[in-house]
Chains A and B, each alone.
Chain A
């Protein structure tokens, strides 16, 4: 247990605990962002520099903002009562605990434990790039297609059909 593991672990746990106990949803989002950053730090500690940076770029930079927007658009960010903790914090903890037990059970039963990595090694980014382009080319392409479909779906949802818009104006008049 060295400091470089302990500090990210504490950041991660505090962030995660706050994320499922606080009353104000925006606070929860910010706590979750802290937990995401803690994850990135843990990846750095494990020598996975690239993964840690991608974690920061995607989760802290994009996913956290996306959740924050969602919370604000659905009206969850309004000021609550005087209590800091959510009245349902116990349910939150139970749910998180159940998830933890499930994942822990799955991991302990899996084959990873037999040959767990004993030494921390740093992998150069070029190795990851090579692997993505050569042996994992098909999954990468499929992910690209998936993201394209999601983007097109978003555009289709957001597009306003001109004829309907003009009709609604007429109705208003």
Chain B
């Protein structure tokens, strides 16, 4: 093994070495623990880094400093937030359904962590190599709706219930374009196994990789997937379920202390895992973006892509205003769903044509319905320059 290969496989080799040190009867248990414990340590750590990045980034976008009191440049802020969450009083409303109220954050975090089981985080680095990994991910993801419902209903608060209803309606609506755009990539890869989807995108033309995002259908599917993923993880501009200015944090309004932190954690971990799926399906997984960079370890590329995606999410949150409920639903059912079907057709055209024609046909099949649909949606709407009225 060359040193490059060792650097690439260092965690796999480390696991084999550690498992080899324990008695044979304990090896399966230790093997599972060694796989699971890093996942439940690394991603919450990434969550801590993301909170400070987000607060700093949003601060800069809004022309202010962001947190700068704890430690140099405020980098100890996540630690302070964690201590605050742990030491805060855990308040349960007198009328709340105590059992369901307690289990809602637990179920949410449990399901979110389960989804990490199938993510390929590097070459040979997935906790479980499931035959239908993509399906597993979406099946587990759909379970979080139940947790949201539990939180909203058990709080006995009308804002909580409203927020939960909004969240569930939004998640169900956007799940359809999310899965349909993933189906386009699955159709071309010909497998539901996430590892194999990554290997299907391996190889380079010149220095450029064969990622699905660099094809006409793949680019459209990637955009649809990212928009739906933003909605699925309830992030701005789709953060109506939380809507601080209208329903004061939505379904977790009645949660305080560490349970609130768990919801926060669940939301961010959900965003990370769905970004990881987007990376796997469209951005080549753990593959290097240029052929001359393949010596960099695969897991480093995975996390680099993940952090890039997170930064994009922060950027979008800082720059776009929140949608209205009817705009949200119209967008899902009248634009996202037809476009997802169009992208499926385009992917099918790509599959059965060759040479330059596949680029032309696939491109036209996406772009013509897109412009037609876009103009159709804007046709009976008058866009003028906004008139501002000031108090006199």
Check A60 against B132 for contact (C-beta < 8 Å).
no
- Interface positions, chain B 128-164, Cβ under 8 Å from A, are 130-132, 135-136, 138-143, 145-146, 149-150, 153, 156, 161
- Docked pose: A9 CA to B59 CA in angstroms: 52
Closest to A129 in B: B192
* Interface bracket on A: 20 to 34
Q: Is B309 an interface residue (CB 8 A)?
A: no
A125 touches B131 (CB 8 A): yes
Known: A49-B130, A65-B146. A72 touches B153 (CB 8 A): yes
List CB contacts (< 8 Å) of A30-47 with chain B. Answer: 30, 33, 37
Q: Which of A24, A33, A37, A125 contacts B132 (CB 8 A)?
A: A125
Contact A57 B95 (CB under 8 A): no
Interface: B339 (CB within 8 A): no
Q: Is the CB of B142 within 8 A of A61?
A: yes
Contact of B138 among A27, A49, A57, A64 (CB under 8 A): A57
Q: What separation, in Å, do the CA atoms of A49 and B118 have in the docked complex?
A: 14
Q: Contacts of B368 on A, CB cut-off 8 Å?
A: none
Measured CA separation A9–B97 after assembly (Å): 27
Q: A56 is contacted by which of B97, B139, B149, B161 (Cβ under 8 Å)?
A: B139
In the complex, what distance in Å separates the CA atom of A62 from the CA atom of B168? 10
Bound form: Cα–Cα A53–B142 in Å: 11
Q: Contacting A65 at CB < 8 Å: which of B131, B140, B172?
A: B172
Closest to B132 in A: A125
Q: Is the CB of A60 within 8 A of B142?
A: yes
B156 (CB) vs chain A CBs: closest residue: A79
Q: Is the C-beta of A89 less than 8 angstroms from some C-beta in chain B?
A: no
**Does the CB pair B138–A30 fall under 8 Å?**
no
A68 lies within 8 A of chain B by Cβ = yes
Q: Is B132's CB under 8 angstroms from A50's CB? A: yes
Contacts of B130 in A (CB 8 A): 49
Q: Give Cα distance in the complex from A37 to B175, angstroms.
A: 20
How would you classify the secondary structure of chain B's contact residues: helix, strand, loop or mixed?
Answer: helix
In chain B between 107 and 136, which residues have their CB closer than 8 angstroms to a CB of chain A?
130-132, 135-136
Q: CA–CA, A50 to B130, complex, Å?
A: 10
- B-facing mask of A50-89, CB < 8 A → 1, else 0? 1001101100111011001100100001010000000000
The yes or no answer to B30 lying at the interface (CB within 8 A) is: no
Contact of B310 with A by CB under 8 A: no
How near does chain A come to B119, taking the closest CB pair, in angstroms?
16
Instruction: Determine whether the beta carbon of A60 is less than 8 Å from that of B153.
Output: no
Q: Interface readout for B185-198 with A: 1 if CB under 8 Å, 0 if not?
A: 00000001000000
Cβ of B146 and Cβ of A30 under 8 Å apart?
yes
Q: Which of B6-32 contact A (CB under 8 A)?
A: none
Say how far A22's CB is from chain B's closest CB, in angstroms.
11
Among all A-B residue pairs, the 5 with the closest Cβ atoms? A61-B142, A56-B139, A57-B139, A53-B139, A53-B135
**CB pairs A–B below 8 angstroms (27 shown):** A24-B97, A26-B153, A30-B100, A30-B150, A33-B146, A37-B143, A49-B130, A49-B131, A49-B132, A50-B135, A54-B135, A56-B139, A56-B142, A57-B142, A60-B142, A60-B143, A60-B146, A61-B143, A61-B145, A65-B146, A65-B168, A68-B149, A68-B153, A72-B161, A79-B95, A125-B131, A125-B192
Extra contacts, 15 of them, besides A56-B143, A60-B142 (Cβ < 8 A), are A26-B153, A27-B100, A37-B143, A49-B131, A50-B132, A53-B136, A53-B139, A54-B135, A56-B140, A57-B135, A61-B139, A68-B149, A79-B156, A125-B131, A125-B135
